[in-house]
Amino acid sequence: MKEKHLTVQLDYLDNMKEKLQDICNYSEKQINGNLTQLMYVDMLSSEDEEYQRMIKQQNRELVVDAILDDKVEELNIFKQNQVTDVSSQYNPATTMGIISPKVMQISMTAKKFETYQKLWNQVVLFLNKNTQNPKNIKQRSQALDYKLTGDHETDHKKIISKILMCSSIIAMDGRIGPAKSILYGKKLIPYINHAINQFGSNNINGLVAHFSELVDDDKVIVCRSNNPDQSGLLLIDDQQNGQYFFNQTTNWYKQYCWFRIM
């Protein structure tokens, strides 16, 4: 009887860990102390605010160095002789800009581990809270929200199309890959169940589906989980010390896409 209870408990823990892996950058690691620094790689575009801030900072440092070293004249000559970028004359127009990898660093503070259910709740609540406004997409002037027609078959197909569209947006905007899972609220149940019956194995065209009462009834959140050294929501599970670390990278939201039904 005890062995059976232990087996059920282990299966439950494995299931919760798999669920966390579906929606965030979950990893298991022993950390000495209650503070840690994590290095990760983010793909930045010249169109990103973060990239533009970095360039401005570099320019400011050049100017300060030039003033301190009394080399302002040399700096002005350098700027005047910089090669003009004419690539736009030969390459197709794009809104992506120049994409380059950058190593980033993030600080994380330990919190006391209680249960995996509470960890799951914390991640889902964070996602739900931070997806209240429509997804900001440069290529689209309108939100992704969908107005129901009242015809179940039509609405089901449109909702699934929206989900797959969100997956493509994540791949394009996040620059790592397509989505891996979805979180959805109560009003989406009949449409998601319809899709699951078609695809089977609790997935929609490869996306694992998770219902949660913590998600707004009318909302779908499409998720891309990554490795712990990539952009997204970072969750380190340190069971040896009874603690965990949770934080988000600067561009975490690019690994998620969401919409509502109306």
Q: Give the model confidence (pLDDT) of 152-185 as tens digits.
A: 999 999 999 999 999 999 999 999 999 999 999 9
- Same domain for 207 and 250, yes or no, is yes
Our CA dihedral for 44, 50, 52, 56, rounded to 10 degrees, sits at: -130
Q: In the predicted model, is pLDDT for residue 30 greater than 90?
A: yes
Lowest mean pLDDT among 4-13, 22-31, 127-136, 182-191: 4-13
- With vertex at residue 115, the alpha carbon angle to CA 114 and CA 116, rounded to the nearest 5 degrees, is 140
pLDDT tens digits for range 3-13: 554 555 667 78
What residue type is 240 in one-letter code? Answer: Q
Q: Kindly state whether residue 244 falls inside one of the protein's structural domains.
A: yes
Average pLDDT, the chain: 83
| Final residue before a domain boundary, out of 59, 89, 119 | 89
Q: pLDDT grade, residue 136 (50/70/90)?
A: confident
Q: Kindly state whether residue 172 falls inside one of the protein's structural domains.
A: yes
- Domain around 74: 49-89
Q: In what order do the strands lie in the sheet with 243-248?
A: 25-28, 233-238, 243-248, 99-112, 35-45
- Same domain for 138 and 244, yes or no, is yes
Instruction: Please give the pLDDT value at position 14.
Output: 84
- Same domain for 24 and 84, yes or no, is no
- Same domain for 61 and 170, yes or no, is no
| Final residue before a domain boundary, out of 61, 89, 117 | 89
Instruction: Please give the pLDDT value at position 57.
Output: 64
- Same domain for 77 and 180, yes or no, is no
Return the sign of the alpha-carbon dihedral for residues 156, 162, 165, 171: negative
